[in-house]
Amino acid sequence: MTETVKRPYVVGNWKMHGLLSSLPSILDIDRAAACYAGVDVALALPFTLINPAAITVEHATIGGQNCHAAHEGAFTGDISGRMLMDCGARFVLLGHSERRLGCGEDSATVRAKMRATLDDGLAAILCVGESAEQRDAGLAVTSVQEQLLASLPEDLTPADTITIAYEPIWAIGSGSIPQPAEIAAMHGAIRQTLRNRLGQQAETIRLLYGGSVHDGNAEALLSIADVDGLLVGNASLDPRRFRAVVRAAQQASLQPS
């Protein structure tokens, strides 16, 4: 098996936060991306900020947090991957637990959105994660593997750019995170699942950890085996804290492996 060295990837998920008056914060984050050039820095923004941010930033990549599975059509209130691409987004988060649980999106829907997104030329960040009940029942790994396989398009090709974000549902916004060994085991299981499905292509896919990441725990999280980057919610809204996470990723990339 050839091991591929991957650039660390740090993605901020702003969720339903931010107004046009937030552009200075986005510029601060863009400066962090310039300063720590060994890290790929991205922001998943609300629709209303995607274009203003995309035409302003020079170093960070701007993306969306959801899109429809159709390219266009009679879907009032929805946005397609093609529209995201058109206004400057270059990736989209899909399958976030807040959409799976809050908007009733099942893995079949996520899979259809993944295919449409990739066809539109966007990269996709697929979010997967177990509930507290699944973890307590000893089903964390199997439920995440099942969710991953059901959400990935059957016909992925090397031209499709995907990232997997492991986000335990119970860790999001709670201040609790899994033990390092639990994260390592989960990322190892995700990598193996990808190998079984995709062969050598699996080695190039970056696996992010997300859920209560902040400037105080980023370095430790990035030292865990098979953690190639971080998905950061709340702490990404504060440019100072997010910058510290990006700096930790740069430092981690300089450590001998």
For residues 109 and 36, give the distance between their C-alpha atoms in angstroms, rounded to a whole number.
36
How far is the C-alpha of 93 from the C-alpha of 79, rounded, in Å? 13
Cβ-based nearer residue to ligand PEP, 34 or 101:
101
Kindly state the smallest distance separating residue 234's Cβ from ligand PEP, in Å: 4
| Binding of residue 128 to ligand PEP (CB under 6 A) | no
Question: Given candidates 117, 212, 250, 253, which one binds ligand PEP under the rule CB under 6 A?
Answer: 212
Indicate which residues carry an active-site annotation: 96, 167
Query: Among residues 177 and 194, whose Cβ is nearest to ligand PEP?
Result: 177
Which of these ranges, 23-31, 47-55, 189-197, 207-215, lies near ligand PEP under the rule CB under 6 A? 207-215
Per the DSSP assignment, residues forming a β-bridge with 94 are: 126
Does 45 participate in binding ligand PEP (rule CB under 6 A)? no
**CA torsion angle 73 116 39 178 (round to 10):** 100
Q: Is residue 117 part of the contact set for ligand PEP (CB under 6 A)?
A: no
**Which CB, 39 or 231, lies closer to ligand PEP?**
231
Smallest gap from Cβ 206 to ligand PEP, in A, equals 15
Handedness of CA 104, 97, 11, 26 (dihedral sign): positive
* Binding test (CB under 6 A) with ligand PEP, winner from 45, 54, 140, 231: 231
Helices (H), the chain: 23-35, 47-54, 81-86, 97-102, 107-119, 132-136, 140-151, 180-198, 218-222, 239-254
Query: What b/e string do you get for 8-43 counting C-beta neighbours within 10 Å, with b at 16 or more?
Result: bbbbbbbbeebeeebeebbbebbebbeebeebbbbb
173 touches ligand PEP (CB under 6 A): yes
List of residues contacting ligand PEP (CB under 6 A): 13, 167, 172-173, 210-213, 231-234
